[in-house]
Each structure stands twice: as C-alpha cells, then as structure tokens.
Amino acid sequence: MKRVITYGTFDLLHYGHINILKRAKELGDYLIVGVTSDNYDMIRGKLNVSQTTTERIENVRKTGLADEIIIEEYEGQKVNDIKKYNIDTIVIGSDWLNKLDYLKPFCEVVYLKRTKGVSSTDLRNAKNTILKLGIAGNGRIAQRFIKEAKYVSGVEVEYIFGRTEEHIRNICEKFNLSSYFTDYNEFLDNVDAVYVALPHNLHYDYTKKALLKGKHVLCEKPITLSENQTKELYKIAKEKNLVLLEGVKTAYVPCFERLISMAQSGIIGNIKDIDATFTKLICDKTLREYNANMGGGSLTELGSYPLCIITKLLGTDPVDIQYLYEKDDETSVDIMNKVILTYKNAIATANVGIGIKKEGNCVISGTNGYIIVPAPWWKTEYFEIRFEDQNKTQKFYTKFEGDGLRYELADFVKSIKNNTQNYKWTEEESVFVTHVIENFKLCKNTKEIKSLLWGGGKTS
C-alpha cells in the first residue's frame, strides 16, 4: 500500500484545496491530511485564519478524500510523521517549491501547481469569500509581496499588471499567477482589490483609477507626493465605501503596536524627544531611488518610517518643521535628510539617507525614562524600557515574521471584510506624512549642507 501525506491550513476550504487533495489521493492508496493547529499557525506567522482547527478538520473530512486526518502542531513534525506513518510520498503546493527538499532522504517529495482562479464552494458564505487581489507593479517589492501573501488567509494574489509584457509574463509564470495584463482597465475588471507597488510618482493616478472602478486599494508609501492628492483619494474611498490603506508596514507590526501602547501609557513619563533613523546605502544611481522624476530621494523613499513613529506618539500638529539635507550632484535627489519637528512640548528628529549609513536605532525619551528600539527598529520585534535605576529595565519581544508585508495585507483584508477603516494607520496620519514630504519638495524651511552632519557609529 502506497501511503501519501499532505499538509495545509485549509482555511475557508475552496476548490484549490480540494484539487490538491484529489491529486494527492491519486498518487497513492491511502491519504493522510495534516491540518495545522491554531497555535502553530500563529507561531509560523499565518495571519487572518478565520476558522478554528476543529472547523477546518471538519471541512476536510466532509470532502471524503482523507483516509486519516492529523494535526500539525510544530516545526519539524513532518519528519516524525513520515517515519511514524510509514509515508512513501509527501505532496505540497508549488508555492513551497524546494522548501521541503530536506525530506527527500525520507520519502518522495511532490510539488503540485496551485489551482489558478480559485472559486468558492458551499463551505464558504458571502462574508468569507476569498479576496481576489491584483498587483500593479513588477518591481522588487511586488515580488516580495507575492511571497508574503501566502501567509495571509482569505486572499489570493491572482493577477499582475505592468507595462513591460516580457517582465510581467516571467513573474506570472514564476509565481504561477492566473494571468497578467498590460492594460490597466482590463486588469481592474478582473480583481476585487489592488496592491499598488509602482514608482512613487504613479501612486496617485493608479490608485485613483482603481478607486473609481470600485476597487479597494493597498498603496505603497508614500501614498502620493501631494497633500491635496492624498486627501482626494481618501475622499473618493469614503464616497464609494472602499478601503484605502497606505502600506507603511511598520504601523501594522504586532511588536510596534505594543511599543506605541507602552510609550503612550506614561511609563516613561511625558515624551520629550524622539530620534528615529533609517538609512540604506544605494550605490546604483540608475535605480528609481535616484530618479527625481520618479519621486526619488531619501525622504520619499524612507521618510514614512521615522515619521510614522513620531506621528503616532506626538501627533500631526507640530509648530515647526525644518529640513537639513544634502543632494547628490549628479541626480539632484537628497541622499540624506534630517527632518526636525518641533511640537509644543517636545521635539523629534527623523534621519534618513540613501547615500549615508548610520545606526538605525529609535530612542523615545521621557521625563521618567526612555525606550530604545535597536536596529532595524522599523522591523520592530524587540525593545527595552530603561530608567535611571538600571535594575528596573523592562524587555519586550514579539517575533517579526518574514518581510513584514503580511501584516499590512492582513489588516487590509480584515478592514475589507469588516467594512471598517484601519486604526493602525489613519487618514490623518497618512495626510500628514504626505504634507511633510511635499513641504520638502517645495523647499519650505529647508537648508542644504555640503558636509555630512552625522557621526559614524556602528552600521545596521
């Protein structure tokens, strides 16, 4: 008897799942199905799982395809299961291509292509319909997003839009997407929601077109390069009862949310100073980060992150904003920028750079103590609350999974299903960050410097 095993979350069971089970069944005489436990899903960073383990097991049982159902509870269990159940073949979706090759010494490993254009079954109701998501853009972040999306339940990345057919065709084939489009209107006709991952200067036009077509939009930061344009997009979204979310991924990270709550609790007293730094060295000046016409520069590229934590803790009404910056002689984009925001009772500094490297810490200083978030603080998973008495130091850790894009996508899906606007990154905060970026572009209260003002220190 040939024994086959397969694993999955099987949340909101659909034909894609059923086809995997059918094809796995055809490869042997006895099929064992491993359904992930709630706790294991949480540990491995699978977000927005709608149904309990019991419900998901029952859905698999109802298919009549599984001869036996087990629960997958921990990393590494597959090796033990193969030995315990005398498995000949393990079957898994092609999304995990090469990821289970370590099992080849124990049994045959078969990767099955995912089912394109997943459709629903009677096991789902209208509330739980899988969201069909399309990606507008084919750059580095778009491809990272596709990989992260498989960790979010309730959404399927089906289509991709781009202007270079050969490039998007290759991405479509690489990730086994349903189809690709070079016509944006045709693309929009096939999706429920859009992830806009185009260059900064295109965010406004493509987001607006999607909203006017009745599509929910998750747009990469900065959402636009103009305060009025950002306000206009949110106005359209409200009028059409759509979700518009800006992808400042730090805002949606679980540990960051905890950090903000702790800082706002008064544990360090009144917050008087915030210093947040995000730099990355980009040496290739042919990239969009150095193209002024595409919204390049250190502030537009990285400024949303330090401005995020500053805005969360000090608000959107500083009495003054100043910019100290240095431009690249060849491209005229800012390669470093120090934005100083003065509030009524506090001051904050956002340090960014694409042509300079500085330790990427964030320090929040208060009248009773301070919070330090080590580099890379924008991928928040650890922070310390320190006091004059070092014995009172408190340490907090919450795991940061993958590239972090899954967190913003999970909140986007949740907002759509619940028909609510997201509280983790609000319209007011989004508009303010755009305001800060636009002011710099308009040369308001700016000062160009010819020598670097920042010190060395460790790099991150």
Q: Tell whether 453 is covered by a domain.
A: no
Residue 223: which CATH number? 3.40.50.720
Q: Tell whether 279 is covered by a domain.
A: yes
For the segment 200-218, the average pLDDT, to the nearest whole number, is 98
Residue 38: which CATH number? 3.40.50.620
Q: Which helix (H) or strand (E) holds 429?
A: helix 427-441
Q: Which of 190-204, 248-262, 433-447 has the lowest mean pLDDT?
A: 433-447
* Domain final residue, candidates 247, 268, 283: 247
Same domain, 198 and 69: no
Q: Tell whether 120 is covered by a domain.
A: no
Q: Tell whether 289 is covered by a domain.
A: yes
Same domain, 238 and 358: no
Same domain, 238 and 344: no
Q: Tell whether 85 is covered by a domain.
A: yes
d(CA 41, CA 76): 14
Q: Is 20 helix (H, G, I), strand (E, B) or coil?
A: helix
For the segment 317-342, the average pLDDT, to the nearest whole number, is 95
**Residue spans of alpha helices (H) in 221-362:** 227-239, 254-264, 298-302, 304-314
From residue 316, how far is each of 155, 250, 270, 275 by CA, in Å?
33, 18, 17, 16
For the segment 305-321, the average pLDDT, to the nearest whole number, is 97
Q: Which residues span the domain enclosing 80?
A: 3-112
* Domain final residue, candidates 247, 270, 290: 247
pLDDT at position 94, please? 82
Same domain, 299 and 201: no
Residue 408: which CATH number? 3.30.360.10
* Domain final residue, candidates 247, 265, 296: 247
Q: Tell whether 210 is covered by a domain.
A: yes
Q: Tell whether 458 is covered by a domain.
A: no
Report the interhelical angle of 427-441 vs 227-239 (nearest 10°).
Answer: 150
For the segment 297-314, the average pLDDT, to the nearest whole number, is 97
For the segment 159-175, the average pLDDT, to the nearest whole number, is 94
**Residue bearing the bigger pLDDT, 328 or 44:** 328
Q: Residue 157 pLDDT > 70, yes or no?
A: yes
For the segment 294-301, the average pLDDT, to the nearest whole number, is 95
Same domain, 397 and 260: yes
Residue 98 makes CB contacts below 8 A (sequence gap 6+) with: none
Same domain, 102 and 140: no
Q: Residue 208 pLDDT > 90, yes or no?
A: yes
Q: CA neighbours within 13 Å on the CB side: how many for 95? A: 19
Provide the domain count of the chain: 3
Q: Is 143 exposed, middle or buried (0-12, 13-18, 19+ CB in 10 A)?
A: middle
pLDDT band at 286 (very low <50, low <70, confident <90, very high): very high
Same domain, 201 and 180: yes
Same domain, 317 and 393: yes
Q: Tell whether 119 is covered by a domain.
A: no
Same domain, 233 and 272: no
d(CA 349, CA 416): 34
Same domain, 105 and 63: yes
Please tell me the pTM assigned to this model: 0.81
Same domain, 143 and 105: no
For the segment 172-185, the average pLDDT, to the nearest whole number, is 94
In 3D space, the residue among 152, 112, 113, 148 whose CA is nearest the CA of residue 130 turns out to be 152
Q: What is the pLDDT of residues 88-143, one digit of tens each?
A: 999 998 878 888 999 999 999 999 887 665 443 333 333 457 899 999 999 889 99
pLDDT at position 420, please? 85
pLDDT band at 452 (very low <50, low <70, confident <90, very high): very low
Residue 456 makes CB contacts below 8 A (sequence gap 6+) with: none
Same domain, 202 and 341: no
